[in-house]
Amino acid sequence: MDSNCLTGGPNKAPCVRNDCESHIGARTRDLRKRIQQEVENELSQKVKVVEPINYPSISMANFHNNSAPSRKSSDNLAVAKLLNEQPVTFWTDNYAAITGITQRFSGVKPFRRSNNFSCPIEYRMGGPQHYEMEGYTPLQRHSTRKD
């Protein structure tokens, strides 16, 4: 027994706490143990198995992304006409990963051939050169300088 519970000490009131062992009877202790056991059983049944959380980023890309790019079957290979189109590369299939490309409409290629820097393939592959064509005049004929 706790002596402070019975006497309260000088100038103190006796102990009135409910959890003090000296003030609890056998029935109350037994009732508390049974209620505590029932609550523990009920809570243990309600606990569900928590699956690991997948943390996607704001852009819905997986943070745990596999570093190796997946190989896709390219539909572009069957349609590519190599005389008129660029060859198919990894980036033509994965245009969305290119910085600055936000949206791709149907029929729009991310890498178009610039006509400013290319000449037709006929000129490169055995076609007539520009000086062999009709209407070609050498620069010497246009010279205005007379000797």
Mean pLDDT of 9-17: 57
* Residue 8 in domain: yes
Residue 25 lies in a domain: yes
pTM: 0.23
Alpha-carbon dihedral of residues 118, 119, 121, 122, nearest 10 degrees?
Answer: 180
Residue 123 has pLDDT above 50, yes or no: yes
Residue 51 falls inside a structural domain: no
Asked whether residue 93 is assigned to any structural domain, the reply reads yes
User: Is 124 within the bounds of a domain?
Assistant: yes
- Does residue 15 lie within any of the structural domains? yes
**Which pLDDT tens digit goes with each residue over 69-116?**
666 655 555 555 555 666 677 777 777 677 665 555 555 566 666 655
Domain that holds residue 18: 3-43
For the chain, how many structural domains are there in total?
2
Q: How far apart are CA 111 and CA 104, in angstroms?
A: 11
d(CA 21, CA 13): 17
- Tens digits of residue pLDDT in 89-98: 777 777 767 7
56 assigned to some structural domain: no
Q: Residue 95 contacts by C-beta under 8 Å, 6 or more apart in sequence?
A: 101, 104, 110
**Alpha-carbon gap, residue 12 to 21, rounded angstroms:** 19
Helix residue ranges, H only, 8-61: 26-46
